[in-house]
């Protein structure tokens, strides 16, 4: 059993990233499980040089530590090395071939325009059109391939007509019907990159992750990931979808939006204890915004207390 924090090295960590890292660390340290740091650098065009090193430095400066992963120098980081997604392609390929043998994935030649124009495509208000399953039919797939002779196929997972219900440790009971609310989703892109939804399941499954603490923006991804965990024969972890941090206007913090980075705070003279205290206060772990270290915060906390604070912070 183990927990993990898996940032994308596409820029400096902002306040929301740091709070999620702190919560993932606390959840792991309140149990006997090891804590893993994994870099989700699969989408190389978005990776910024030096970001991984900066993330490691920032987390250590805050007082967060980990047992396996990026920045751990012995045995390549630990028994599940490598801990960078960009170096794990052979594992993804092996899992891809497993699904291919099961007959649950198929090549798709549809363009985004094809999907948007499909008369039968139901629409998800949040994520755009749901794929209508055009290329599921081998005859139609052959026609689509002829229509787009220069197009390299993406690969989609054939979702069953199934409702997945799971008990999130923070949000509570969540249900999603795969065929109506998700649709056949891409696991390997036309550019040859394996999709996040697929890679993260392979990584968590192979690394024995039992608890996934991550932002609530990924809650909608969970049902399809549970389907993949089961299809690949992995144990399904517990999920903790924690509230996102927002600015004064109610907009979620983002790297693109220029949210304050830890590097900026350090330049302004803020101490690690001041940052930790502020992050803990914003999620209700302490009753006053005051400086304290990660280990001081840990000493006054229980796993049930952490869960209760997160549940309270999630409620409107």
- Helix%, strand%, coil% for the chain, nearest 5: 45, 20, 40
Q: Which of 302, 252, 259, 295 is nearest to 277 (CA)?
A: 295
Single out the catalytic residue among 48, 151, 188, 255: 255
Tokens (6 digits) for 123: 């629409």
Q: How far apart are CA 86 and CA 79, in angstroms?
A: 17
How far CA 29 is from CA of 35, 43, 99, 295, in Å, comes to 8, 30, 35, 10
SS (H, E, C) 146-196: HHCCCCCCEEEECCCCCEEEEEECCCEEEEEEHHHHHCCEEEECCCCCECH
Cα–Cα nearest to 44, from 54, 33, 52: 52
| 255 among known catalytic residues | yes
Query: For residues 134 and 144, what is the distance between their CA atoms, to the nearest angstrom?
Result: 9
Q: Which two tokens stand for residue 305?
A: 């207390």
CA distances from 188 to 44, 58, 155, 239 (A): 15, 32, 5, 24
Place of tokens 């030096």: 50
Q: Collapse the DSSP code of 68 into the 3-class scheme (helix H, G, I; strand E, B; otherwise coil) and give the result.
A: strand
DSSP state for residue 137 in the 8-state scheme: S
Q: Which two tokens stand for residue 52?
A: 């991984």
Edge-first strand order for the sheet with 154-157 is 105-108, 154-157, 185-188
Residues noted as catalytic: 255
């Amino acid at each position: 059993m183990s927990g993990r924090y898996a940032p994308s090295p596409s820029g400096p960590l902002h306040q929301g990233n740091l709070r999620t890292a702190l919560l993932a660390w606390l959840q792991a340290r309140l149990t006997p499980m090891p804590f893993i740091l994994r870099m989700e650098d699969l989408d190389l065009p978005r990776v910024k040089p030096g970001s991984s090193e900066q993330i490691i430095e920032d987390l250590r400066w805050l007082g967060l530590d980990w047992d396996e992963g990026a920045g751990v120098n012995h045995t390549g980081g630990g028994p599940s090395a490598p801990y960078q997604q960009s170096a794990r392609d052979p594992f993804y390929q092996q899992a891809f071939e497993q699904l291919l043998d099961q007959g649950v994935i198929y090549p798709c030649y549809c363009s985004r325009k094809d999907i948007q124009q499909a008369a039968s495509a139901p629409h998800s208000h949040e994520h755009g059109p749901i794929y209508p399953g055009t290329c599921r039919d081998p005859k139609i797939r052959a026609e689509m391939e002829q229509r787009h002779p220069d197009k390299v196929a993406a690969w989609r997972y054939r979702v069953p007509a199934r409702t997945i219900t799971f008990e999130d440790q923070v949000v509570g009971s969540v249900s999603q019907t795969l065929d109506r609310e998700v649709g056949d989703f891409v696991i390997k892109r036309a550019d040859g990159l394996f999709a996040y939804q697929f890679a993260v399941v392979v990584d968590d499954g192979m690394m024995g992750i039992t608890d996934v603490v991550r932002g609530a923006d990924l809650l909608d991804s969970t049902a399809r990931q549970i389907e993949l965990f089961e299809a690949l024969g992995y144990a399904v972890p517990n999920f903790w979808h924690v509230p996102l941090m927002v600015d004064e206007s109610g907009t979620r913090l983002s790297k693109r939006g220029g949210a304050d980075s830890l590097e900026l705070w350090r330049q302004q003279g803020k101490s690690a204890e001041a940052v930790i205290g502020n992050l803990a206060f914003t999620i209700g772990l302490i009753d006053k915004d005051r400086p304290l270290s990660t280990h001081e915060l840990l000493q006054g906390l229980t796993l049930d207390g952490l869960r209760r604070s997160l549940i309270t912070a999630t409620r409107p």
